[in-house]
Amino acid sequence: MAVTTMAKALNAGLRKALERDEKVLLMGEDIGKLGGVFRVTDGLQKDFGEARVIDSPLAESGIMGTAVGLAMAGYRPVVEIQFDGFVYPAFDQIVSQIAKHRARSGGRTPMPVTIRLPFGGGIGAVEHHSESPEAYFAHTAGLRVVSPSNPMDAYVMIQQAIACDDPVVILEPKRRYWDKADVDESVDIASAPSPFTARVVRPGTTATVACYGPMVRTCLEAALAGEADGLDLEVIDLRSVSPLDIPTVAASVRKTGRLVVVHEASVFLGVGAELAARITEECFYSLEAPVLRVGGYHTPYPPSRLEEEYLPDLDRVLDAVDRALAY
Amino acid sequence: MTADGGPELVQLLTPEGERVHHPDYDVDLTPDELRGLYRDLVLVRRVDAEATALQRQGELGLWAQLLGQEAAQVGSGRALRPTDMAFPTYREHGVAWTRDVDPLQLLGLFRGVTNGGWDPHEHNFALYTIVIGDQCLHAVGYAMGVQRDGTDDAVIVYFGDGATSQGDVNESFVFASVYNAPVVFFCQNNQWAISEPLERQTRIPLYKRAHGFGFPGVRVDGNDVLAVLAVTKAALQNAREGNGPTLIEAFTYRMGAHTTSDDPTRYRVAADLEAWKLKDPIERLKVYLARNGHADHAFFDAVEAESEALAVRLREGCRSMPDPAPDSLFDHVYAEPHPLVDEEREQFVRYHASFAGGEH
């Protein structure tokens, strides 16, 4: 057990995966000598060689398309897209090829491709470096989409994603890369909870707040601040946005009667919209208020001087909770 | 760009069926092997004709015709070893034939009973890829896997002249080049991307593009099965020996429509078609075989009879092909259990069972 950052926890998880299975390969821009722009792959090329930790040409579709071929050849490619906003050139290969290949091959050709995507805002970056594209991927059958919120989950979930025979998009909350917490490297990933399940990270009774990735810390801080106002919020870290762990959220809402969903992505047709529909179906008679959403607006991600206005924060979360309680 | 392929065109068998020599490329085939190629060409053309007819009869939703491209596909397909891997577009019925994929499995895709059809690993023939050019990157990735496996297998990928405008194809050239991947890029330049002529894709001969990416390019007479075989074998051998990729431009012509939904009379002139008819890939081999005593009437009759039998088998097999079970649409979406798909399948089955007698 050691205190470490999420970036280092991901590095340790990648190292474990490379050690465990010689078919695991890492590929991406600047991931070799440089160790990635966020240093998540720091030192891995030195230890595992250029054939397994591959600096790629600067072409995202090329990275994704060659990952398809490597998977067909029996490898387990783990590809890094340097920033969320650069994934779109690879969108066709992800949606048309990676997501569908297993189904169209009648289950004969699995696509164990892990797509690492540093995502989300809050780091004062220039345009195209702060986006939350999860709904695009969650909308696509054949893909799984997860997002760790803390170093320990990051360490385990990256290994579980790589071990999974389905393609997994792992959204790494880049503004939490430097958050520190205890990481137990002795944990056995096979006996750890499935990455496709949610976790109640703070039990409570007043209302349920569901979130994932970078928003988990924000929501936990909101819950702490809410205590002073007599609020006892239950916070759920969804961890996976595809599949969504509906039973865990439904069980919570049956208890609290209220649900607020929080994400950085714009709310229109987002994860919150899906949860609102599903929870209304599952928990209609338990709900004391409509499901409310807190998220980005239907605008392009703003220049960084405005991003704090765009991103959900503690106050906006508590405002939504207040509105839910006012029904 | 010259309509006849220009002086760079590698040719070993003229349209008149005369064997000519080339300083860099040659094949040494037994009469038996030559007859085998002829048989391939005839049977592949028959598969194409039958499939087109089956589409007209409503048995297939669509068919992408290969008429005129038989030699490009058979010649390159027969250059492969069984352990080599081939990545097709949606028109490589002739390559599929050389990889022992039952033509009925191709029909299944166009009939709409599957989105795949065969086992890519059993045949070392990837599934058809409809998004233009995507498979070029898959081939390079696969070739990178071959490099890491340390075998001397090679990979071939098929695409058309239109695909050369795609970003993925150009990215695949870059990746193959910088990683020195054992892959052969086989471009069938059939002169048309649906209605758009080659002039809408390029200002230079396509094979010359390779030089800019740092590997050799060669233009071969795509209607000359011997030249295609020779050129492809050489490129594959080059890849096996660690010398990296080659771009082959097989200069040919799409004699039919883009697909059965297309009407080429709207955009091209009949005179072109007539000119290319004189360069037919099958006719020239037939003349060569007959003139040199490599095949007699009995052989040609036997191939014709086999072609008839194949046609009957395809017609019957296609018409009797069962529709998949309705709930199979949920199969194989994920390798590991997925609660949403499981739930939707249950709802789907329950909904269908709710009708009288459980009828769908």
Residue B4 lies in a domain: no
Which of the listed residues A133, A158, A183 is the one where a domain comes to its end?
A183
Q: How confident is the model at residue B266 (pLDDT cuts 50, 70, 90)?
A: very high
Residue B49 lies in a domain: yes
Examine residue B72 and state whether it is found in any structural domain, yes or no.
Answer: yes
| Single-letter residue type at B204 | I
User: Which residues of chain A does B131 touch, with a Cβ-Cβ cutoff of 8 Å?
Assistant: 92, 96-97
- Answer whether A58 touches B (CB < 8 Å): no
Q: Give contacts of A 268-327 with B, CB under 8 A.
A: none
pLDDT by residue (tens digit) across B166-186? 999 999 999 999 999 999 999
> Do residues A63 and A34 both lie within one domain?
yes
Same domain for B191 and B45:
yes
Give the rounded percent of residues in chain B with a pLDDT score beyond 90. Answer: 97
Single out the residue of B221, B147, B223 nearest to residue B181, CA to CA. B147
**Do A87 and A125 have their domain in common?**
yes
Is A282 a member of any domain? yes
At B114 the pLDDT is 96
pLDDT at B14: 97
CA A71/CA A91 separation, integer angstroms: 17
Whether the predicted pLDDT of B358 surpasses 80: no
Tens-place pLDDT, residues B267-309: 999 999 999 999 999 999 999 999 999 999 999 999 999 999 9
CATH at residue A295: 3.40.50.920
Query: Among A69, A142, A246, whose Cβ lies nearest the Cβ of B141?
Result: A69
**What is the domain range of residue B74?**
31-319
- pLDDT of amino acid B4: 81
pLDDT score, position A47 = 98
A65 vs B120, B137, B335: nearest CB: B137
Q: How far is A316 from chain B (nearest CA, A)?
A: 31
Question: What residue of B is the nearest CA neighbor of A55?
Answer: B179
Question: Domain boundary at A125, A149, A183, which?
Answer: A183
As for the ipTM of the complex, it is: 0.97
| pTM of the complete model | 0.97
Q: How confident is the model at residue A189 (pLDDT cuts 50, 70, 90)?
A: very high
Interface test with A, best of B109, B127, B130, B328 (most A CBs within 10 A): B127
Answer yes or no: do A176 and A105 share one domain: yes
Q: Residue B307, by phi and psi: left (phi above 0), alpha (psi -120 to 50) or beta?
A: alpha
Task: Please tell me which residue of chain B has the smallest CA distance to A165.
Answer: B335
Q: Does B24 reside within a domain?
A: no
A190 occurs within a structural domain: no
- Domain total in chain B: 2
Nearest to A70 among B114, B115, B145 (CB): B145
Which residue out of B136, B171, B172 would a mutagenesis test of the A interface target, given it has the greatest number of A Cβ atoms within 10 Å?
Answer: B171
The whole domain housing A298 covers 199-326
Q: What is the pLDDT of residue B320?
A: 97
Residues of B marked active site are found at: 254, 258, 267
Of A259-263, B4-8, B249-253, which range is least confident?
A: B4-8
Residue A73 to residue B141, Cβ atoms within 8 A: yes
pLDDT at A256 over 80: yes
Is the distance from CB of A240 to CB of A287 less than 8 angstroms?
A: no
> Which uninterrupted H or E stretch holds A171?
strand A168-173
Query: Does B7 fall in a domain?
Result: no
Structural tokens at position A213? 């990735």
- Whether A73 sits inside 8 A of B146 (CB atoms) is yes
- Average pLDDT, rounded, for chain A: 97
* Mean pLDDT, rounded, for A63-68: 98
Band (pLDDT 50/70/90 cuts) for residue B1 is: low
Q: Do A62 and B168 touch (CB under 8 A)?
A: yes
Instruction: Give the nearest chain B residue to A106 (CA atoms).
Output: B332
B269 has a chain A CB within 8 A of its CB: no
User: Both B201 and B280 in a single domain?
Assistant: yes
Q: Is the pLDDT of residue B357 over 70?
A: no
Give tens-digit pLDDT for B67-122: 999 999 999 999 999 999 999 999 999 999 999 999 999 999 999 999 999 999 99
Question: Are residues B143 and B62 both part of a single domain?
Answer: yes
Cα(A22)–Cα(B4) distance, integer angstroms: 50
pLDDT at A308: 96
Last residue within a domain, chosen from A183, A212, A245: A183
Could you say which residues from 315 to 334 on chain B have a Cβ atom under 8 Å away from some Cβ of chain A? 331-334
Domain annotation covers residue B306? yes
Based on the fold, state whether residues B218 and B333 are members of the same structural domain: no
Q: Of A128, A129, A139, A298, which one is the catalytic site residue?
A: A129
Domain co-membership, B315 together with B339: no
Q: Please identify among residues 225-244 of chain A the ones whose CB lies closer than 8 Å to any CB of chain B.
A: 242-244
Is residue B75 a part of any domain in this protein?
A: yes
Residues B282 and B353 in one domain: no
Same domain flag for B65 and B131: yes
Report the chain A residue with the minimal C-alpha distance to residue B175.
A57
* pLDDT for residue B16: 97
Residue A1's pLDDT band (cuts 50, 70, 90): confident
Looking at the fold, whether A62 and A101 belong to one and the same domain comes out as: yes
3-state SS track over chain B:
CCCCCCCCCECCECCCCCECCCCCCCCCCCHHHHHHHHHHHHHHHHHHHHHHHHHHCCCCCCCCCCCCCHHHHHHHHCCCCCCCEEECCCCCHHHHHHCCCCHHHHHHHHHCCCCCCCCHHHHCECCCCCCCCHHHHHHHHHHHHHHHHCCCCCEEEEEECHHHHCHHHHHHHHHHHHHCCCEEEEEEECCEECCEEHHHCCCCCHHHHHHHHCCCEEEEECCCHHHHHHHHHHHHHHHHCCCCCEEEEEECCCCCCCCCCCCHHHCCCHHHHHHHHCCCHHHHHHHHHHHCCCCCHHHHHHHHHHHHHHHHHHHHHHHCCCCCCHHHHHCCCCCCCCHHHHHHHHHHHHHHHCCHHHCC
Same domain assignment for residues B221 and B341? no
Residue B115 to residue A61, Cβ atoms within 8 A:
no
B248 confidence band (pLDDT: 50, 70, 90): very high
- Asked, for residue A194, whether it belongs to a domain, the answer is no
B233 and B332: one domain? no
Nearest CA in chain B to A245: B339
User: For the domain that residue A164 is a member of, what is the CATH number?
Assistant: 3.40.50.970
- Please indicate, yes or no, whether residues A54 and A167 belong to a single structural domain of this protein: yes
Q: Does A5 touch chain B (CB under 8 A)?
A: no
What pLDDT sits at residue A60?
Answer: 98
| pLDDT tens column, A207-222 | 999 999 999 999 999 9
Q: Between A66, A106, A165, which is nearest B137 by CB?
A: A66
- Report residue B49's pLDDT band, with 50, 70 and 90 as the boundaries: very high
Residues B108 and B174 reside in one and the same domain: yes
Same domain, B286 and B333: no
Name every chain A residue with its beta carbon within 8 A of the beta carbon of B139: 69
Interchain CB contact of A263 with B (< 8 Å): no
Helix ranges (H only) for A164-257 are 215-227, 246-256
B chain contacts of residue A100, beta-carbon cutoff 8 Å: 115
Is the same domain home to A132 and A217? no
By Cβ distance, the residue of A51, A68, A245 closest to B138 is A68
Q: Is residue B284 part of a domain?
A: yes
CB contact residues (below 8 A), chain A span 156-175, against chain B: 164-166
Which among B126, B141, B332 has the least Cβ separation from residue A106? B332
A103 has a chain B CB within 8 A of its CB: yes
What's the domain count of chain A?
Answer: 2
Residues of A in contact with B175 (CB under 8 A): 56-57, 59, 62, 66
Q: Residue A192: inside a domain, yes or no?
A: no
CA pair distance B331, B347, nearest whole angstrom: 15
Do B121 and A108 make contact, defined as CB atoms within 8 angstroms? yes
Nearest by CB to B145, from A74, A242, A245: name it. Answer: A74
What is the nearest CA distance from B215 to chain A, expressed in angstroms?
17
- On whether both A217 and A165 belong to a single domain, the answer is no
Q: pLDDT band at B2, cuts 50/70/90? A: low
* Residue B56: predicted pLDDT: 97
* Judgement on whether residues B227 and B332 belong to the same structural domain of the protein: no
- Residue B123 in contact with partner chain A when CB distance is under 8 A: no
In a domain, A188, yes or no: no
Clarify whether residues A243 and A118 are in a common domain: no
Task: Report the CATH number that the domain containing residue B121 is assigned in CATH.
Answer: 3.40.50.970
Average pLDDT over residues A179-194: 95
